[in-house]
Amino acid sequence: MSQHLINRLCIIGVGLIGGSLARALKKAGAVSEVVGAGRDVAHLEKAKELGVIDHLETDISQAVKGCDMVVLAVPLGAMQSVFERIAPVMTDDMIITDVGSAKGSVVKAAQLAFNTTPETLVPGHPIAGTEKSGVEASFAELYQNRRIILTPLETSSSDAVSKVRSMWQACGAEVVETSIEHHDEVLAATSHLPHMLAYSLVDTLAKMDEKKEIFDFAAGGFRDFTRIASSDPDMWHDICISNKDALVKMIKKFSDDLQLLSNAIENNDSEYLKETFERAKKARDEFCDM
């Protein structure tokens, strides 16, 4: 019997997130061997050259065979097609989890592909990442002291949940559990909305006639706030579509508050402006101290 937590791990989508998971588990001695799966052979060969994976496979059905843990690190729009490739070779001891940012769409994709909800499916989402992408950007410490949210289903077996939890803990992460609905609402507010603001702001400025001068004079605050606009556009397209209800609700809420702020500036409403800024500063300072 293997002394490792995971005997054979398959990571489908070996980029920043999947690659960092493989690196962290290898560094912790928690995995025996790692199979990397994807469509881009050159990308997989690079991952193998870097020591992130041990084997590579472009056929997902072949890649997952004999694996006791399968992690989907693909765009949300690709989840169903990947599940459909796994379904014919799914075994009772094959645990499946993912790193998607919208859990409702992942569960729906699994149900459509498997015609049921597998007991060994444990949806998950690491609250970690950078604006960079690709296996070259991966590093073993990405999940250290970061939160991983699991959203187990009523059908998820306790053993499967426990093993997925242990996998992330081996990477140095703090694991918490929430409902799918709560996860998607919270992430719409804390992650998806900020990305929309960053993309929208940069796009607005980029369409202005004076854009070169604007960007030439951009200070540190602008660069810090808009850093996440360098994130993968395809990934964020999928997130918008997959979590649209919760995200649109948050965009409307923010738009209403932004209009109130605009009105206060136009009307020289000093009291409103000071109260808003002080309330925001207090909340931000308390958040950073947590």
pLDDT at 1: 37
- Residues 49-68, mean pLDDT to the nearest whole number: 97
Q: Classify residue 13 as left (phi > 0), alpha (psi -120 to 50) or beta.
A: left
Residues 47 and 155 in one domain: yes
Decide which of 207 and 80 is more confident: 80
pLDDT at 221: 81
Residues 162 and 194 in one domain: no
pLDDT at 220: 76
Burial of 174 (0-12, 13-18, 19+ CB in 10 A): middle
64/88 Cα distance (integer angstroms):
11
Question: For 15, phi and psi rounded to 5 degrees?
Answer: -110, -145
Full DSSP string of 57-84: ES-HHHHTTT-SEEEE-S-GGGHHHHHH
Mean pLDDT of the chain: 93
pLDDT at 225: 85
Residues 47 and 164 in one domain: yes
CATH number at residue 100: 3.40.50.720
Domain that holds residue 58: 6-178
In tens, the pLDDT along 152-184 reads 999 999 999 999 999 999 999 999 999 999 999
Residues 107 and 220 in one domain: no
| Residue 7 pLDDT level (bands cut at 50, 70, 90) | very high
CA distances from 245 to 189, 239, 242, 258 (A): 12, 11, 9, 20
Distance in angstroms between the alpha carbons of the first and the last residue of the chain: 42
In a domain? residue 1: no
Residues 52 and 136 in one domain: yes
The structural domain count of the chain equals 2
- Residues 3-19, mean pLDDT to the nearest whole number: 95
| Residue 42 pLDDT level (bands cut at 50, 70, 90) | very high
171/107 Cα distance (integer angstroms):
25
129/19 Cα distance (integer angstroms):
11
Percentage of the chain modeled with pLDDT above 90: 84
Residues 218 and 174 in one domain: no
Burial of 201 (0-12, 13-18, 19+ CB in 10 A): middle
Residues 18 and 79 in one domain: yes
